[in-house]
A and B are shown apart, each in its own frame.
Chain A
């Protein structure tokens, strides 16, 4: 039996395991596990290394089949990812699905927007390639291929693809585009996807697994924070007495679709809360993943630059003690390199007036109004703990 993949595993050994994976349940499960940011194999690695490892594993789903638990990871990457290698891997992974669902199309279109101005040559032919590589591809080429693979189900994408015909593209991308247009235009009946029937509120069946945080155990009441002005307080001080919205971020994040957008949306949420006259009823907080680096002046500047209005009930926080307990309670999807975060998911939570999670919004982009509605409705005593939601699918998971 192969050894567990962990912190000490060599990158090349992880790649070998990925290459050898077949469609057997244990092998597919090993690949799904590698999608989790917190997998120990990513601990202490650079962001580039995590992109290589995770992307290589994600692309393997094209070969072994993409199981339902891994679909959300691919959709997340298409929706918010900016790294050509991971976006290409996610597009490839979708081609491992059994059914060709038209609901995938908006994610693929968003991926086009995300990478079209900073695409790159990538290759999945071998791990740790040297350049020039033998048969490189691009993120856009892989997205086009997946749209072509969807055939008539991707008819919605045709106008966008047609626009691209007028643009100069690398030969590999151009070939994928031409073929995709032809495949989409092929006479054929779109496969009716269960997702599009109104009666089915759980497209792809993934909602229950949009990683609702189980809220097991007690909130980390004794965790200590310092806010953007250097004022000290505990978890109990801030998160008790009223419902709260809490998001996670860090100031050195380089993906504008993640932390920067999260804090900008938090500012918008504050604005809407004020318009409803609820500024004193719902607290908002953003907690940094990177408390050693994100000192108060950095927190303040980051919030100020994104429109956050600071007040007693609205703060950016860094944990000075108990960050591990916070990470455990919120099951944070984050991992660390030697000096900084190396990867993380999008995560926002609504807490009740005892600081307990009532609803979690993870991986996919969250909607300001939806999270605000949840916060307004948040009851006392955590009676609804463990719900998972995601904006794009529009329905809630359950405990």
Chain B
């Protein structure tokens, strides 16, 4: 989809949602609270009530208690609880107001980590993972080691664990990279291994392995560039000049070399630059052509 079309549709959706909220929103906080307490009220009205309560949190912090209770209440609909979670996550930015409620909020999140609703579970786990919560780490690791206990798909679990570089999952991730349960889990594991200096040999091996999917090699290149820029520079130069290499990877290597190195600093870099110049003249891939042009523009300042 074209980006301007995407923007137009998004704006339309936002405007429609705002209109719905205005129509459904209770007139005041008292009405909102009453609507929320009426279980027989239409779900849309109760969701609007939760939103209305959210707007008053700063003035009435006790509303946070009600929303935490709603979030933890498994007998309520997942949609309503997701709305409560949205409002509570917004309220966490009211640092002073929210501070006193934080322990109960985190406790509530932990207590619903196994909720049957997939979306709610994923959101809750994500919120806890961003807090580097030890309980969610234990449960995510358990799920990666024993798929029958998994709370979220492996790629998602790795993404959540990746929020904390002080964790102990790196050996497990290296195993996942070599024997991936899914392609997305492999890519996610490589992305997270960018924080692990011990993974340099593995990342180097994958980047140099032409049998690996180009997406996986691309991810390895990014990780290696962060971990070992000098080593990456050497490998990236070889890839950029290799006609049998994947064009996307060649272009990405050239872009990285243009952005993160000094193309004219050493004799070997100057020699490489001359070869890139020639490459620009004869490359057939538009991606490579574009990348060589950008590289040469950087050289010429």
Cα A282 to Cα B268 in complex, Å, equals 40
Query: Residues of B within 8 Å of A, CB-based: how many?
Result: 35
For residue B170, CB closer than 8 A to chain A, the reply is yes
Given contacts A121-B103, A339-B196, contact A131 B132 (CB under 8 A): no
Quick one: given A168-B101, A339-B196, are A117 and B165 in contact (CB under 8 Å)?
no
Q: Return the contact of A339 from the options B99, B103, B197 (Cβ within 8 A).
A: B197
The answer to whether A170 touches B168, judged by C-beta atoms less than 8 angstroms apart, is no
Min Cβ gap B240→A in Å is 22
Smallest CB gap from A129: residue in B: B135
- When C-beta atoms are compared, the residue in chain A nearest to B104 turns out to be A170
Residues of A within 8 Å of B169, CB to CB, are 46, 338
Inter-chain CA distance A117–B195, complex, in Å, is 28
**Are the C-beta atoms of B99 and A117 separated by less than 8 Å?**
yes
A338 interface neighbour in B101, B134, B164, B168, Cβ under 8 Å: B168
Chain B residues whose C-beta falls within 8 Å of the C-beta of A337 in the assembled complex: 166-168
In the complex, are the beta carbons of A119 and B102 less than 8 A apart?
yes
Question: How far is A131 from B106 in the complex, measured between Cα atoms in Å?
Answer: 10
* Chain B nearest CB, measured from A298 CB (Å): 10
Q: Which of A36-53 contact B (CB under 8 A)?
A: 44-49, 51-52
A45 touches B168 (CB 8 A): yes
Taking CB atoms, residues of chain B closer than 8 Å to A297 are: 229
Report yes or no: A131 in contact with B110, Cβ–Cβ below 8 A: yes
Overall SS of chain A's interface: loop
**Measured between alpha carbons, how far is A387 from B285 in the docked complex, in Å?**
67
Contact B137 A121 (CB under 8 A): no
Does A169 touch B at the CB level, under 8 Å? yes
- Over the window 93-129 of chain B, the binary record of Cβ atoms lying under 8 Å from chain A Cβ atoms (1 yes, 0 no) is 0011001111110110011010000000000000000
Enumerate chain A interface residues (CB-CB to B < 8 A): 44-49, 51-52, 84-85, 116-121, 128-133, 136, 138, 167-170, 173, 252, 254, 292-293, 295, 297, 337-342
Q: A129-B135, A131-B107 are in contact. List 6 more A-B contacts (CB 8 A).
A: A46-B137, A118-B102, A128-B138, A133-B107, A338-B198, A339-B197
B interface vs A, CB < 8 Å? 61-62, 95-96, 99-104, 106-107, 110-111, 113, 132, 134-135, 137-138, 164-171, 195-199, 227, 229
- Pairs A–B under 8 Å by Cβ, sample size 8: A45-B168, A52-B134, A117-B96, A121-B107, A170-B100, A254-B166, A292-B197, A340-B165
